[in-house]
Chain A
Amino acid sequence: MTDNLKIGAWMKRDIVAVHASMSVKEAAALLVDRRVGTLPVLDEDGVLIGVTTITDITHIFLPDFISLLADIDFVKDFGALKTPSKENLERAETLTVADIMEEPMAEEEDCSLVRALSVMEKHNLADLLVVRDRQLVGIASRVDIGRAFLTTWLKAEA
């Protein structure tokens, strides 16, 4: 397998990462300013210990009943919940990244594109983290991997 078919060749090396002690509010500001969707969480030595995403953080603001109901098509007007509730906003202020981060899903640089895409599909990931000796070295989005696929496909045609 040539390097072109490995994730290392297509990942971004410019990474926006955070520490677990950072407040969720600061993390949110980082997501907005740097226009990323996934924030890897690193310890002091740069070891990947967690991950959080824009989806995880926005979840804090969803009404309680969303997680309880299978279907909400019949709710046309959210009434008192048109805007995030006061309780949810207050809670968001007090949270740190450590409170909401999840177990990271990561691959090595020599992971094949097919495996990378499959892992993202199965774990419903927007971005895949890439590590070398547990140190974070890159990040690849679905678009990155999709572009890698399409590029190699088009080249093979030509």
Chain B
Amino acid sequence: MTVGDGGRDGDGRPVLLFAHGFGCDQNMWRLVAPAFAQDHRVVLFDYVGAGGSDLTAWDPGRYATLEGYATDVLEICAELGLRDVVFVGHSVSAMIGVLAAAREPSRFAALVMVGPSPRYIDDEGYVGGFGAEDIDELLDSLDSNYLGWSAATAPAIMGNPDRPELGAELTNSFCRTDPRIARHFARLTFTADNRDDLPRVGLPTLVLQCREDVIAPVAVGEYVHRAVPGSALVVLDATGHCPHLSAPEPTTAAIRDFLAATFASRA
């Protein structure tokens, strides 16, 4: 993992931990996270396999389920000594946040779920929006596009001091992910079923939903809202799966409002 920490131990400001979803890296938060840097301790990171993470840290056993990623989140919290964390998770990371909070509830103060889906594949009495064959098609798409993945840049991700030009190339590229790890993460993400974990969330929770999102449709956002006790649902007038990119101001405003309401009522 690569972790960026905009604060120090015990500097007193509330902590916002931003977790990117499948497909990209912490760059996803560049239009939203800076808006909170003034009055929050903002922590960003890349999961193993994404962005600037150390690919040698990849272990198929550890990451066989989303729990492995939740462990990463908890290790970041422990390493940085984070308390009362507001966890902002996009897409699959919303569920990773749910798992992490279930294991160490005392670490967390609130959850913000951006475009969450507890299950992508349709089930009896549940519409996730996808069939199992759609997920295979996505994996094929990944394979087709990673033909352009250059093995030459992989060492740069692992830090190759002998070839600084690779590092320069990397800083200019966003959302680089290792193909094999991405494939694994995709399968994990889109075949997971975390519906049973939602009712156990005991934290103030905000569900941020786009008006039109093919990956996590409104019906799914509403399902999450109903399943997480006491959660708030905000439907943003935005299209796509990444409101933090396509509608950063409304996204930031919704998170701010939620934080203000949550922590005002606590005080």
Chain B associates with chain A: no
Interface residues of B (CB under 8 A from A): none
Interface residues of A (CB under 8 A from B): none
